[in-house]
Amino acid sequence: DLDEMLKQIQRTFVTFRLEYKFGLDEITTKVGILREQFDLTYDHSPIEHVKTRLKSVDSMIEKTVRKNCEPTLEAIRANILDIAGMRVTCPYVEDVYLVADALRRQGDLTLLQVKDYIAEPKPNGYRSLHLVVEVPVFLADRTVQVPVEIQIRTIAMDFWASAEHELRYKFAGDVPPELSRTMSEIAGTARSLDEQMTALRAELAPPSPRPGPDQEDRSRD
């Protein structure tokens, strides 16, 4: 009957979503390892904090429909690459690329997409580095490749993006032009803060060392 059919559909989506949770678990471990190693190797911590989120079934369906696709599992899998999402916040702009490079070097990850909104900010002023990586997840009976979106940004970028997200939510996407202008100005301030902090960092310490064989050897001493 209908009730049983709905239950079956719900179970299918729960199982489908679980694979993304596992993918996120794998990436969380990877970033956790980087964070600990960075903390030991560098004069400051390049990772300030890490947040993860898993898209709800409702919002994956909503996004698929928004993209003019049928809300089937296949269409969701092919079109929604940010079901599993991680946000990494770093103190300095150079840390953003340090973290991204460390992930990009990992042989078991396949880089599916890079969007560098730091090099090319969005018209509203949004800045962030987005990577979509595919990570293998070993299930009991098969291995699945799971895409995970990783947004890497500075504290200043994150501050701005959180406020802008809240504004958009509050005004249901219809932010008054005056407020949009204010946000655009603040984006400029955030950008200039990042530039000033980069200059300050150059005064504070020599450039961070790249982890290499030297470091590895020293850490074993």
Locus of tokens 């599916």: 112
- For residue 127, state whether it binds ligand 0O2 (rule: CB under 6 A): no
Residue whose CB is less far from ligand 0O2, 27 or 211: 27
Among 51, 122, 181, 210, binds ligand 0O2 (CB under 6 A): 122
Beta strand extents in the chain (DSSP E only): 49-54, 84-90, 110-116, 129-138, 143-154
Asked if 181 interacts with ligand 0O2 (CB under 6 A), we say: no
Tokens linked to 208 = 């961070």
What one-character DSSP code corresponds to residue 161? H
Q: What are phi and psi of 24, to 5 degrees?
A: -65, -40
Interface with ligand 0O2, residue 17, by CB under 6 A: no
- Tell me whether residue 149 is one of the annotated catalytic residues: yes
Token look-up 């396949």 returns 110
126 touching ligand 0O2, by CB under 6 A? yes
Among 10, 124, 184, 196, the residue binding ligand 0O2 under the rule CB under 6 A is 124
Contacts (CB under 6 A) with ligand 0O2, residues 51-110: 82
Q: What values do phi and psi take at 83, rounded to 5?
A: -65, -45
Residue 158 binding ligand 0O2, by CB under 6 A: no
**Mind spelling out the 3-state secondary structure of 6-24?**
HHHHHHHHHHHHHHHHHHH
Strand partners, 135: 146
Q: CB 197 → ligand 0O2: shortest distance, Å? A: 21
The active-site residue out of 19, 36, 134, 149 is: 149
130 binds ligand 0O2 (CB under 6 A): yes
Which residues sit at the interface with ligand 0O2, rule CB under 6 A? 82, 115, 122, 124, 126, 130, 161, 164-165
